[in-house]
Amino acid sequence: MVHISDGVLPPAMLAAGFLIALTLLVFSMRNIRIEEIPKVSLITAALFVASLVHFPIGPTSVHLIMNGLAGILLGRRAFIGVFVALTLQAVFFQHGGLSVLGVNAFNIGVPALLAWQLFEKRRGLKSPRLEAVFGALAGGLAVLASVLLVSLELLALGEAFNEISLLVIGAHLPVIIIEALVVGAAAGFLLKVKPEMLADSSNRIMEVN
């Protein structure tokens, strides 16, 4: 349950989520180039599909998130992909909901951006298979960060959500491992066959041109 449903969070938290999400969306879209749009669209589609297959575990459910993969492939454009994918899921499948869209985008999109920055740390290091190693770290930690954000938000609602917040963490431990392996393998494979698919090193946070 990385997607929080409508009617769970208070209005103040929903408003803060939209404010932060819109700010990050502007940041993510800044200076976007036409040639980047097909790649963003492809990864957005992958995010959309990955989150549709749910595996129920008690009162909650788990699914692949792939925000770490979005981060290492799209860089700061990852938040665009997350926001659009979540919007489509909410509109067509009532997955999450529109009122909580900002919070869900924050919970999944911010870890995607953190995954990108972690993946960037490999640059300048001289060691074999760095892309695979940093890709695995980015993939696993992105999911972990999303799960922790959701759990903290649920804990803030009161004792009634204590058990479900812990369940969310426990249920997603296999997902963390799976996504670490998948993203690490994808990063290593793309380095060999299509390295331009990985996030462009020129697309940094401080880029102004």
The per-residue DSSP string of 93-137 comes to H-SS-STTHHHHHHHHHHHHHHHHHHHHTTTT---TTHHHHHHHH
Q: Specify the pLDDT at position 1.
A: 58
How many C-beta atoms surround the C-beta of residue 56 within 10 A?
Answer: 9
Q: Specify the pLDDT at position 34.
A: 94
H/E run at residue 56: strand 55-57
Q: What is the pLDDT along the chain (209 residues), one digit of tens a residue?
A: 577 888 889 999 999 999 999 999 999 999 999 999 999 999 999 999 887 777 676 656 678 899 999 999 999 999 999 999 999 988 988 777 899 999 999 999 999 999 999 999 888 777 767 889 999 999 999 999 999 999 999 998 887 788 888 878 888 888 899 999 999 999 999 988 998 899 865 454 434 33
What CATH number has the domain spanning 11-197? 1.10.1760.20
pTM over 0.75: yes
What per-residue string of b and e applies to 6-44 under the rule 16 or more CB within 10 Å gives b? eebbeeebbeebbebbeebbeebeeeeeeebeebbeebb
Q: Specify the pLDDT at position 129.
A: 76
Contacts of 117 (CB under 8 A, 6+ apart): 205
| Nearest of 87, 102, 112 to residue 20 by alpha carbon | 102
User: CA-CA distance, 30 to 32, in Å (whole number)?
Assistant: 5
- Domain locations in the chain as residue ranges: 11-197
Written as six digits, the tokens of 110 are 């911010």
